[in-house]
């Protein structure tokens, strides 16, 4: 069993490796520590890690969620939020959003909360 210091070190290594490497859904899945970090944020509502690194994971999760919506088919409602603009807004944030806990919750199960990509994009934008 890992102690807290080892878990934190493993999480930090995973964040750094993901931020510096391939930022695909497959790479995200290959780092279980990243899901552990997101689960912790979702459960506790506190960010214990460097936002600049966690932001990269959040962006990857947003990309993956949008890809899942696109795989189902086009949205029947027009998207009011430009995807590129949304990614730029997230990328430009120097601190985590006040709603980070809710954002992580939505990213874990996007289709549970929003059936259409347009509604998902609006939620992430907020």
The per-residue pLDDT for 111 is 83
Helices (H), the chain: 4-20, 25-29, 32-44, 51-72, 83-92, 100-108, 110-113, 117-125
Per the structure, how many domains does the chain have? 1
The per-residue pLDDT for 75 is 66
Give the C-alpha distances (Å, rounded to integers) separating 36 from 29, 40, 45, 115: 11, 6, 13, 26
At a CB cut-off of 8 Å and minimum separation 6, what does 113 contact?
A: 105, 106, 120, 123
Q: Which domain holds residue 34?
A: 4-125
How far apart CA 109 and CA 125 sit, in angstroms, is: 16
**Residue 56 banded pLDDT, cuts 50, 70, 90:** very high
Selected residue with higher pLDDT from 20 and 81: 20
Contact 65, 71 (CB under 8 A): no
pTM: 0.87
Residue 116 has pLDDT above 60, yes or no: yes
Q: Give mean pLDDT, residues 76-92.
A: 82
């Amino acid at each position: 069993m890992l102690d807290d210091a080892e878990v934190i070190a493993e999480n930090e290594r995973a964040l750094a490796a993901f931020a510096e490497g391939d930022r695909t859904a497959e790479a995200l899945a290959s780092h279980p520590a990243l899901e552990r970090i997101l689960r912790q944020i979702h459960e506790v509502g506190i960010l214990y890690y460097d936002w600049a690194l966690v932001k990269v994971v959040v962006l990857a999760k947003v990309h993956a969620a949008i890809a899942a919506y696109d795989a189902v088919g086009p949205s029947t409602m027009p998207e009011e939020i430009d995807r590129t603009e949304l990614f730029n807004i997230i990328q430009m944030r120097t601190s985590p959003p006040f709603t980070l806990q809710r954002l992580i919750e939505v990213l874990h199960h996007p289709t549970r909360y929003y059936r259409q990509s347009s509604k998902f994009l609006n939620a992430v934008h907020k």
